[in-house]
Amino acid sequence: MRNKSPDKSRNLLQTKAQRWVVKIGSSLLTDEGRGLDRKSIGGWVRQIIALRRSGIEVILVSSGSVSAGVQRLGWSQRPANLKERQAAASVGQSALIHTYEKLLRECDEPNEMPIHCGQVLLTHDDLRSRRRYLNARSALLTLLEMNVLPIINENDTVSYNAINLGDNDTLAAVVSNLLDADLLVILTDQDGVFNADPRSNPDAQLLTEVNAGAAMLERIAGSGGSGVGTGGMLAKVRAATRAARSGTSTIIANGRCDNVLLRIRDGEALGTFIHARLPKLDARKRWLAGHLRARGTLHLDAGAVHALKQDGGSLLPVGVTALEGNFHRGDLVLCKDPDGNVFARGLVNWDANVVQRCLGKKSPEIADDPDVAEGVMIHRDNLLIH
């Protein structure tokens, strides 16, 4: 669906964006799960080359490894068993990257510096470590400087439910945060976000522009996926909210539109544009926001909630009333207010057993405890208020 009169601010943001993260879903890459769709992939490769030639840096987050592996192994459907999915990902990932590399060679123009591709496989554990997070950023920036197209996927072969990122929409958002991307483009098999389910409501209207974090977005997005990948529209709007924390706006558009990436570059109002109108976090807080798996929960009294929200203080044990989980120093924990609402997350300085014996105590009471690090339970630099 096309807007006849694109919004000027949207047009400007699209045409000025110089670093894009582009995510392509499994249903587009694998012809609805029937194997790698070489013709369609070639079309996106040609567009990415054109973007690169026009000065736009592109980082590609590509789904499709599991589906490609399923096809190569001759299976009739995506396996539910974790070990079989991991095996399919291993077989399919090599096929996926080989396809991209071959098409880059075929689609490139003579007398131009060739664009190579580089495979980058990530898990949540790679990104929850500050050192590995920064190493990933450095490696990706180096690839861009070397005229290489980074192709990123979750490392499904070694990932499992307790540590995985869950879907490539989330991964694309985390990569956008990692690299301070100007624009996240999520290509799917839908025209964008509608105000109702277009599959059951013929009067559903495409939302051409919305703000990241808008309450109605998650309500109308639903949670259904295509059955080929792991994400749905809900995952996409949540990814847009996450990307907005680094100032990255998001476009959710139909990947089957002719030259969709080039038309977006030229300012055409395709799909749903989600403005990054949220407070921008600094680099360390963005890294903290990328922690998707909490190891425990701390319950706080009203005084502690006020100190964190209004005064910007660190979390002291005197304001903690209870805890959940068996966490260790350096793990991510959630903070809940007296009503049970999660309002913050942070990296805890103490093991759970230390927290338990210090609950409700004032700082002088624990000053001699050898296991109490830094004197605070969570330092304000390692605390993110939602």
168 labeled part of a ligand binding site: yes
Give the up-direction half-sphere exposure of residue 56: CA atoms within 13 A in the CB hemisphere. Answer: 27
Give the up-direction half-sphere exposure of residue 329: CA atoms within 13 A in the CB hemisphere. Answer: 9
**Alpha-carbon distance 350 to 371, whole Å?**
7
The one-letter amino acid at 16: K
What is the three-state SS of the chain?
A: CECCCCCHHHHHHHHHCCEEEEEECHHHHCCCCCCCCHHHHHHHHHHHHHHHHCCCEEEEEECCHHHHHHHHCCCCCCCCCHHHHHHHHHHHHHHHHHHHHHHHHHHCCCCCCCCEEEEEEECHHHHHCHHHHHHHHHHHHHHHHCCEEEEEEECCCCCCCCCCCCCHHHHHHHHHHHHCCCEEEEEECCCCCECCCCCCCCCCCECCEEECCCHHHHHHHCCCECCCCCCEHHHHHHHHHHHHCCCCEEEEEECCCCCHHHHHHCCCCECEEEECCCCCCCHHHHHHHCCCCCCEEEEECHHHHHHHHCCCCCECHHHEEEEECCCCCCCEEEEECCCCCEEEEEECCCCHHHHHHHCCCCHHHHCCCCCCCCCCCECHHHEEEC
Torsion region of 170: left, alpha or beta (phi above 0 gives left; psi -120 to 50 gives alpha): alpha
**Alpha-carbon distance 195 to 208, whole Å?**
10
167 labeled part of a ligand binding site: no
Compute φ and ψ for 341, nearest 5 degrees: -90, 135
**Alpha-carbon distance 296 to 320, whole Å?**
13
102 labeled part of a ligand binding site: no
188 labeled part of a ligand binding site: yes
**Bind-site residues for substrate:** 63, 156, 168
**Bind-site residues for ATP:** 23, 188-189
**Bind-site residues:** 23, 63, 156, 168, 188-189
